[in-house]
């Protein structure tokens, strides 16, 4: 197995590539607007960075299909102007670069179906690619036990790993992979650049798939600027004293 592969899926920065299918998760367009409303003066830099990074990824892959695995936009109960402008422009960008676009519903996507309809797209609860089933991970589908795919790909968790040196902690986005019952699981990092995510060494999981699972035997693949670093199992990292 290559050092940048998990269960046959290739890690490309914060995306996964399965043959000609690119998968990204948890973009949260409009997040700066929501933070501004709460009093955090965050400049609106994220969208340009998302587009720039995605262009780099497209340049290194032969993907003709893209799957957005939930939380395309940030606000739960409405669409703010920043979200509307950015989502519409983002879908236009995707249509210019991919033959097929798959949107999977996340827990922030109450209005994404309306946006998708305007753009002649559909929103799916989950989507199968070969022997992989892709879903956001915020809920367990009622027919999950009947699904035949061996590998489940979820987002929702926004995993990162905290690299510690004395009192200083530097977070790096990461993929997690391991077994849950008889299924392989891949947990994807977020494809946004405002926060790195939740430290998998310190914070509790939020997906119902992982709620009662010990993550000690899960592996950590940290990613930064297209570099992939296999940090080994979580249980071994927890024993490291710095």
Question: Is the pLDDT confidence value at 41 over 60?
Answer: no
Residue 179 has phi, psi (to 5 degrees) of: -100, 135
What letter does residue 146 receive in the DSSP assignment? Answer: G
Q: What is the SS3 assignment for 224?
A: strand
Residue boundaries of the structural domains of the chain = 5-238
Q: What is the pLDDT of residues 207-234, one digit of tens each?
A: 999 988 989 999 999 999 999 999 999 9
Mean pLDDT of 150-168: 87
Enter the pTM of the model: 0.92
Question: Is the pLDDT confidence value at 240 over 70?
Answer: no
Question: Is the pLDDT confidence value at 36 over 70?
Answer: no
Q: Bigger pLDDT: 211 or 136?
A: 136
- Helices 81-97 and 46-60: angle between axes, nearest 10 degrees: 10
pLDDT on residue 242: 45
Q: What is the pLDDT of residues 87-115, one digit of tens each?
A: 899 999 999 999 999 999 987 566 677 78
CA–CA separation, 162 vs 173, rounded Å?
9
CA–CA separation, 112 vs 105, rounded Å?
8
CA–CA separation, 105 vs 165, rounded Å?
38
pLDDT on residue 202: 86
**Residue 163 belongs to what H/E stretch?**
strand 159-165
CATH architecture observed for domain 5-238: 4-Layer Sandwich (3.60)
Q: What is the pLDDT of residues 1-24, one digit of tens each?
A: 467 999 999 999 999 999 999 999
pLDDT on residue 57: 96
CA–CA separation, 197 vs 228, rounded Å?
17
Q: What is the pLDDT of residues 179-209, one digit of tens each?
A: 999 999 999 999 988 878 899 988 889 999 9
């Amino acid at each position: 197995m290559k050092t940048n592969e998990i269960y046959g899926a290739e890690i490309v920065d914060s995306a996964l590539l399965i043959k000609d299918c690119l998968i990204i998760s948890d973009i949260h367009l409009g997040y700066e607007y929501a933070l501004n409303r709460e009093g955090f003066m965050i400049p609106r830099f994220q969208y340009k960075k998302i587009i720039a990074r995605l262009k780099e990824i497209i340049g290194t892959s032969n993907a003709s299909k893209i799957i957005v695995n939930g939380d395309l936009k940030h606000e739960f109960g409405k669409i703010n102007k920043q979200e509307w402008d950015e989502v519409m422009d983002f879908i236009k960008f995707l249509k210019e670069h991919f033959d097929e676009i798959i949107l999977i519903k996340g827990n922030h996507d109450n209005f994404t179906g309306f946006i998708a309809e305007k753009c002649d797209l559909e929103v799916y609860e989950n989507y199968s690619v070969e022997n992989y089933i892709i879903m956001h991970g915020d809920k367990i589908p009622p027919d999950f036990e009947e699904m035949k795919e061996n590998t489940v790909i979820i987002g929702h968790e926004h995993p990162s790993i905290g690299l510690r040196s004395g009192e200083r902690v530097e977070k790096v986005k990461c993929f997690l992979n391991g077994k849950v019952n008889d299924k392989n699981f891949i947990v994807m990092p977020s494809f946004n650049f405002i926060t790195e995510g939740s430290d998998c060494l310190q914070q509790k999981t939020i997906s119902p798939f992982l709620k009662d699972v010990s993550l000690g035997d899960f592996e950590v693949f940290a990613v930064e600027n297209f570099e992939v670093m296999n940090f080994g199992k979580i249980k071994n990292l927890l024993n490291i004293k710095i």
